[in-house]
Structure 1
Amino acid sequence: MKAAIIIPAYEAEATIASSIRSLLRQRDAATLDIIVIDDGSSDRTCAVVRELMASEPEIRLIENAHGGISKTRNAGLKALSEDTDVVSFLDADDLSPDGRMKRDIAILEADAAIDLIYAKVRFFDFEDQHTLSPRIGANAVDGRVVQLAAGLYRRTLIDRVGLFDETLVQSEDLDYLMRIFEERPNYFVSDEVGVYYRKNNGGITEQRKQAQHELMRALFRARKRRSKLAGFEMPRDIFSSDHLADLERWAK
């Protein structure tokens, strides 16, 4: 099975090597296609990726002018090879847990009817660079929230959903996940952790005012779509009850 992992990167020289290495250690699970799309970084992000590419053929680098997260993710989708079987995402400052790919791909191989697997997210603050996981003693908490990297998606499902909405500066991940579930896929909810999400103060999600505005835009668009989807409701077991309640409150 061929697994493509799309990594959008912007000014990520400090963390992107760890993100890529956390995926490379899982090459026993599938043929990996790690697609890094640089969004016009001015630091050494591209140089770090090229250094890894010199010895790791699973990595591809696409260098674009700065265009924002949605355009960057779309560049990754457009670069998928024809023989890609499954797709996932990973932000350039997050980590993929050891064994995640092997575990989830085994589930997909055992049941051809499953379109996607959605797992938990572990938030953390400090990384152990040897284990590529949260450091012992670091602040860490698990949750079921909106996070593209928590999912492993069959290519056929991704093709049905299409591209990210490039008018969204943020909340493009929420918009995309809602569109995924609006396709009414067959899904498997995993109790395992699918991604280590690094909590920091420099990410785009820290820009609170803009984040709130974009969240409202994404939810408003979802409401308009659902008026045409007879009887559709978001699955109740994908996100935690608190997280789902927050989304539903914003949507009213």
Structure 2
Amino acid sequence: MSRIVSVIVPCRNERPYIEAFCASVAQQALPDGWSLEVVVADGCSDDGTAQTLRRLAAQDARMRMIDNPAGIVSAGLNRALECAHGQVIVRMDVHTTYAPDYIAQCLHALATSGADNVGGPWRAEGDTPMQRAIAAAFQSRWLAGGARSRQLGYDGPVDTVYLGCWPRATFERFGGFDETLVRNQDDEHNLRIVKGGGRVWQSSTVRSCYRPRGSLGALFRQYLQYGYWKPFVMRKHGQPAALRHLVPAVFVLALGISAALLPFGMPAGVPAALAGVYAGAVLAASTAAASRTGWGLWWRLPAVIAAYHFGYGIGSLCGWFDVWRGAAAGRERFARLTR
């Protein structure tokens, strides 16, 4: 009897991309003895995405569209999980392209590692010059802070992994995704697995390519949200963030306080020195990234790196403030779609 692998997909307002994405999933080469099921949770799209999904589902019995009234990723993943029949669950996102053997390699990694969640490295590539600059900064060690999930050749245990592939038993043991989190729900779920005695595993043979945001404004808003929701994950688990998660907030806070104290006698050299050291580091990081990806991107990279850092730093400070004041849930303004 054939075993089922269920692909779960949260989406909202993806009309320009959803048809190509569904075609690429349908063409995945599965190992013998496996069959495919695709469950797409649509978060109240108003651009025609839902109509396209219904048409595609009518043409391919392996595909289903369900509604996600909450409109956020964590809720969409949980609604898709509730409907999925597979012994193995694979998460896929619309703005990522996948190797033809992506699912097959996920299944292989799951079988050989014995882990509770497996996935591949988080690789970014862009189409436009701005997207390419954002992708170049994304892969930079200076920006990732040594995160193993950005190391394309790394195989082994990790604290979190891009997207994910789970045996159904993982969700029975550790539960689904936290619907109070608009962002970082995957990090929180992986943290729950690791703290509960499970394992998260990265395999470099699981290959995919993420398409980043296309403008500085969208990038800043995206990382504002990532930064904002991270403290809520830390509060839930009573565990401090890794150093790389704290650095942007500490820098933004130090720069802001030193500038605010200028009228009260703070030497002007203090914020100037902080800004100067940061500018030097950003230029060095930009040069290193451009040397690998193309010098034509160099002049865009400083602004891109600053958008990453300041977005995450300001968002983190807002999140820590709300956690400190005891907010039961995050602010709605940090839950809006950023694409």
After the TM superposition, which residues 83-102 of structure 1 pair with which residues of structure 2 at under 5 Å, given as runs? 84-102=86-104
TM-align CA RMSD? 3.4
Alpha carbons of structure 1 residues 54 and 61: separation in structure 2 relative to 1, 3 Å: same
Residue number in structure 2 paired with 1:195: 208
Per the TM alignment, residue 109 of structure 1 is displaced from its structure 2 partner at its CA by: 4.2
2:225 is the alignment partner of 1:210: yes
Residue number in structure 2 paired with 1:135: none
Residue number in structure 2 paired with 1:121: 122
Separation (CA, whole Å) in 2 of partners of 1:115 and 1:61: 27
Secondary structure of the equivalent of 1:122?
coil
Per the TM alignment, residue 2 of structure 1 is displaced from its structure 2 partner at its CA by: 1.4
Which fold has the larger relative contact order, with Cα–Cα distance below 8 Å and residues 6 or more apart in sequence?
A: 1
2:259 is the alignment partner of 1:246: no
**Contact 1:126–1:139 (CA<8 Å) still a contact in 2?**
no
Per the TM alignment, residue 103 of structure 1 is displaced from its structure 2 partner at its CA by: 2.3
Residue number in structure 1 paired with 2:47: 43
Alpha carbons of structure 1 residues 65 and 172: separation in structure 2 relative to 1, 3 Å: same
Q: Percent identity?
A: 21
What is the one-letter code of the residue matched to 1:51?
A: R
Separation (CA, whole Å) in 2 of partners of 1:57 and 1:205: 40
Displaced runs of 4 or more, over 6 A? 202-205
Per the TM alignment, residue 187 of structure 1 is displaced from its structure 2 partner at its CA by: 4.8
Residue number in structure 1 paired with 2:305: none
Secondary structure of the equivalent of 1:105?
helix
- CA displacement 1:179-207 (0-9 Å, x = unmatched): 12223224543122443211014879833
Separation (CA, whole Å) in 1 of partners of 2:68 and 2:165: 25
Residue number in structure 1 paired with 2:108: 106
**Contact 2:29–2:101 (CA<8 Å) still a contact in 1?**
no
Q: Give ranges in structure 1 of 5+ residues lacking alignment.
A: 128-137, 227-233, 235-243
**Contact 2:41–2:66 (CA<8 Å) still a contact in 1?**
yes
Residue number in structure 1 paired with 2:149: 144
| Matching residue within 50, 56, 60 for 1:56 | 60
Separation (CA, whole Å) in 1 of partners of 2:208 and 2:118: 12
What is the one-letter code of the residue matched to 1:21?
A: A
Separation (CA, whole Å) in 1 of partners of 2:182 and 2:199: 29
- CA displacement 1:15-72 (0-9 Å, x = unmatched): 1222222221115333111110000010111122123223221111002334322222
Secondary structure of the equivalent of 2:75?
helix
TM-score, length basis structure 1: 0.74
Separation (CA, whole Å) in 2 of partners of 1:246 and 1:98: 34
Structure with a larger share of its residues in strand: 1
Residue number in structure 2 paired with 1:165: 178
Alpha carbons of structure 1 residues 139 and 216: separation in structure 2 relative to 1, 3 Å: closer
Residue number in structure 1 paired with 2:197: 184
Structure with a larger share of its residues in helix: 2
What is the one-letter code of the residue matched to 2:118?
A: I
- CA displacement 1:129-183 (0-9 Å, x = unmatched): xxxxxxxxx967767155542x221111122121211111222122112112223
Count of aligned positions: 224
What is the one-letter code of the residue matched to 2:221?
A: E
2:24 is the alignment partner of 1:26: no
**Contact 2:9–2:91 (CA<8 Å) still a contact in 1?**
yes
Separation (CA, whole Å) in 2 of partners of 1:208 and 1:87: 27
2:117 is the alignment partner of 1:75: no
**Contact 2:68–2:75 (CA<8 Å) still a contact in 1?**
no
Separation (CA, whole Å) in 2 of partners of 1:181 and 1:47: 39
**Contact 2:105–2:206 (CA<8 Å) still a contact in 1?**
no
Per the TM alignment, residue 214 of structure 1 is displaced from its structure 2 partner at its CA by: 0.8
TM-score, length basis structure 2: 0.57
